[in-house]
Amino acid sequence: MVETVKEFVTDSYQIVSANSPTVPLKGDDFTKGLRILNDLLSSFSGTGLMITVAKEIETSVIAGQKYVTFAASGADVNEGRLANIEDCWLELTGVTYPLIPISIHSFSEQYKYAPLNGLPIYAIIKDNVDSTRLQLYPAPSQQYQLFVFGKFELAELTSNSDMSILPRYFKRYLKLALAKELARYKGRMAAWTPDLNDELKIARDDMESVSEINLNISNPIGNQLNGAYRVRAGI
Summarize the confidence of residues 164-192 as an average pLDDT. 89
Structure confidence at residue 114 (pLDDT): 61
- Position 224: which residue type? Q
Structure confidence at residue 213 (pLDDT): 59
pTM: 0.75
CA-to-CA separations, 35 to 107, 158, 185, 186, in angstroms, rounded = 37, 9, 12, 14
Structure confidence at residue 220 (pLDDT): 46
Quick: pLDDT tens for 52-81: 788 899 999 999 999 999 999 999 999 999
- Whether 234 has a pLDDT exceeding 80, the answer reads no
More confident residue, 197 or 223: 197
CA-to-CA separations, 147 to 41, 61, 127, 134, 193, in angstroms, rounded = 25, 10, 18, 12, 46
More confident residue, 110 or 12: 12
Alpha-carbon gap, residue 137 to 88, rounded angstroms: 13
Q: Contact 125/29 with Cβ under 8 angstroms?
A: no
Summarize the confidence of residues 161-187 as an average pLDDT. 89
More confident residue, 104 or 7: 7
Alpha-carbon gap, residue 21 to 104, rounded angstroms: 51
Count the Cβ atoms, other than its own, within 10 Å of residue 230: 17
Taking alpha carbons only, the member of 14, 141, 156, 4 closest to residue 66 is: 141
More confident residue, 109 or 203: 203
